[in-house]
Amino acid sequence: METAGPKITQVSIKVDAVKLTLLTGSAQVKGLVVGNPEGYKTPQAISVGSAAVDVNPFSVLLDKIVIRSVRVKAPEITFEGNPFSGNNLSAIMKNVNAATKGGGSEPTNAATKPAGQAGRKLKWTTF
């Protein structure tokens, strides 16, 4: 995240810890801080104390990915500017879009795939 993320977003990205458990289908990120683009006053655009997701690990091989839970603790988003003349979050998103169009494959969904090819579906379950 700290190596590839800044190349894509053009802002600093720091993370305290990342834990992936592929056999159980869980992932957790602690202490995520996404910086602001140059020219903005605050040092960060986004920070998250922790974020975790649990999926059914076998479902990633199927048409529907089953998400068991998503937990986000202590999120903070700093919005600078305005939605009409530009803002920090739009600037970061513009950088991400430019990076994904220029070099790698773009994310796909059912709306952007050719006719006859369905996108993956997510299924939320509650316990």
Count CA atoms closer than 13 A to 98's CA, side-chain side: 10
Q: What was the pLDDT predicted at 109?
A: 43
Please give the model's pTM, rounded to 2 decimal places. 0.72
Q: What was the pLDDT predicted at 50?
A: 98
Residue 97 neighbours by CB distance under 10 Å = 12
Tell me the mean pLDDT per 10 residues along the chain, length 127.
94 97 95 95 96 94 93 97 87 93 50 52 56
